[in-house]
Structure 1
Amino acid sequence: MHSALLLSVTGTKPKMSATRKILLILGFLSALAAIALITVAVTQNQPLPKNIKYGIVLDAGSSHTNLYVYEWPAEKENDTGVVQQVEVCKVEGPGISGYSQSTEKAGPSLLQCLRQAEEVIPLKQHQETPVYLGATAGMRLLRLENKDAADEVLSSVEKTLRSAPFNFQGARIISGQEEGAYGWITINYLLGNFKQSTENSRLFDPCFHQGYQRTISISDFFKNPCISVEKKQFPFSQLYIEGEGNYEKCRTNIQNLFNKTSCPYSSCSFNGIYLPPLQGDFGAFSAFYFVMNFLNLTSEVPFTLDQVASAIQRFCARPWNEVKLQYHQIKEKYLSEYCFSGAYILSLLKNGYGFTTENWQRIHFLGKIGSSDAGWTLGYMLNLTNMIPAEEPPAPPLSYGSYVGLMVLCSLVLVSVILLAWLLFHKPKCLQKGIV
């Protein structure tokens, strides 16, 4: 009986142990699967590393040598790298032509700047980074005076550059024509004159001056909350804008923004918003004033609606180069938008709010009233002070009666002390005789 019981109990143990093992294995596999999924997801969504290429150019001039490090994204635009300078190092000592008497020192003079380039460029990209040296006027002159010395200087330079961990591409004396041509490329590249765009990305804007150009990133364009809901896919990443300076076309485009087709009230401004009758005078401040003041339309004698429209039209018709030259002290971003801002304000007041030639002069463009700026801040402050509870005016520490009494008492004490002191130091004769 005891043995049977023992057999039945021990017989169940292997089953429980096997179940536990299976559960442990399943749990372990599940954990591995979860870790694998998380690892794959994190790895997949990590930002891709930038594929940057580097290049080195040494400008061996007549007085000194400069080493420049450039970088550009591996994905070129129009088969041309978008190159930018990331480092410059001035080589100590004279230009390489100055080593004509000790040519073996020309190459080693470059070592310090080459080591600086090694620190700037990632180690794994050293071998693929091309390095060039171009010698200009000093070496051209040395070659004319002493060709052997010039060749020995270049040989010394080549030896040093080949020993560097970069991909040496050559060291040579460039002609004056080449120097000028490369300089022309540099200047035009930095000024943006080589930027190209297709016609699906070129936009002619009548509200910018003729000759004005601007490049806008499509991604930045749709960051504006006013148009983010209209986001669409475009086959280009940038929008290239050219100004036309066409005031009438600009006004027409702006007026399309004001929807006046439906009005649920007796009178509407636009977009179905109620517009009360225009009565009394109106103050236009902030951007209204700044724009009209720039256009010289804020004198004490009010301008007519036709005069305002003509002034804005004349300004919009001016070439961008002329405007930029006259108003060079104004930031280009603001200066370029005054044409649009003037046309927009005129459209808003005339077509949106219904001002006409009869009541236009009731609008006063205000920058200051007295010594205070016309704007919302003073009104905001007045509203806040109205909400702060009034307090009792500050009172002196003593009442008027106590103050008078204390002053009289202090005066009497002071007079008594002064009189007693005088008597002690200047005794009258009568007191002196009495003492004797």
Structure 2
Amino acid sequence: MHLIIESTLNTCDDKVTLDVQEQDSVIDTIYRFCRHRNVDPRIGVLRNEKGQVLNPTYSLSLCGIKDGDTVYLGEPDMDEVPASRSCDIRCTVIAAAAVLIGTIGLIAVCVSQGWTSSLSDQYGIVLDAGSTHTQLFVYRWPGLRRNDTAATVTQVASCRAEGPGISGYSDDPTKAGPSLDKCLSTVAMTTVPSHARADTPIYLGATAGMRLLRDYHVYAHSFLCYGRVEAERRFFANLVVAGNYTSEVENPCAPSGYNHTFPASYLFEAPCSQGKQALLTWGSEVTFPDHLDVAETNFTMVGSSSYAGCVAHVDKLFNFSEPCDYASCSFNGVYQPSLHGNFQAFSFFYYVVDFLNLTRPGNFSISEFNTNVNTYCSKTWKEVQSIPGPLLDQLALYCLDAQYIYTLLVKGYGFEKDTWNVTFINQVKETNLGWALGFMLNTTNLIPSEAPIIQSKLSLTAYALLIVLFVVFLLLGVGFSYSAYKGTKSSKDRYRQLSNYGSV
């Protein structure tokens, strides 16, 4: 039969008569016309003479089209989009939404149902209450430790407290606590997070002369009274005795032009000056004359920058001629095994040697050490004052301290050129060397590690139902995606070339 198609498309304003079959579908008829006129067949719809849109999947006879009828090819209105195309779009949108909801829902449920909390770090504070000052150290280690060991203990901060050592507060102990306030507020409080402060232990260890020694089952010997403070005290007391207790005493280890006054009670009323401990350590006491009032007497040390005199008086602190009842001894007749291997000197040893500029770069020889000590001890107070850095009183003591270290290591312990494998060091990987680190490592074994925290916000039933729900969403998304794919494929298949294409 013959069908007249009148096109009102913008791209093709024409009227064509086609030879069609009654069983031909509407979409095939549109396709033949558009291919004949070289236009896109998907942009138009067919209407009958009443203006009704013909279903593209129906045959012409089913749409009531007869031989000689006229149909109109035009652009569809917004509500006249072909059902197949509309369905494809809706299926695609629904599929995307279902997959998105299912995926996000599953992730959210799994995350909220159970997770292992990231364990926070633990902290500990050690107050090294030494003889000259108190040092605060803040350490940190992981909350979860393998086999309840301390794992890696890291020093994260340190602070030197104001004031003297802890023994300096013996006359007024109430001042000892406030001396720590600045370090606690400016360093400890700012370093330890607020959530960890309640569980952060603070340990105070009183060292030097306040330390109690345990009994050892291996050989160990502590040279009590040979620490820096007590050695200096004994040195000055010896100078007073050698000067026949005059009010002014020459100090060969101090720079010329520098004077310092000591109370007699400080020099003579101390365990390392007189009494049992003095006799045990030094073998003698330094006594104060009965005709003088110890409470009212002061002695002024007058510096003379005499290196030779400094060496001679420092040597008097050691008894190198004491008989040795063993294969080898250090000084005062105390047994000492032979020196071998590498040694590390830190704390007081490091600070003095570092001041003499001997820690950079690397190790130095015994002769270099001796030369630098000699050079510094020969300076006047005016020359010493021009050196930046330390407090003035400390500058005046560096000669005595340096010569004391040299005498102790070389003459006392017997280090020689071949055995001088001594490294002066203060830190390893930004952590101060000293007993405080070892104390913290040992103490952390007594602090239980945190257990992993498993948090759950959903009951098992709710968790299972939500999992099923979001899995259903995913399945619906897959189903709608497949439907949209099939619809698109079938739509493309409808635009096939007919066998009688081209007959008009």
More relative contact order in 1 or in 2 (CA 8 Å, sep 6+)?
Answer: 2
Q: Which has the larger radius of gyration?
A: 2
Between Structure 1 and Structure 2, which shows a larger proportion of helix residues? 1
TM-score w.r.t. structure 2 length?
0.39
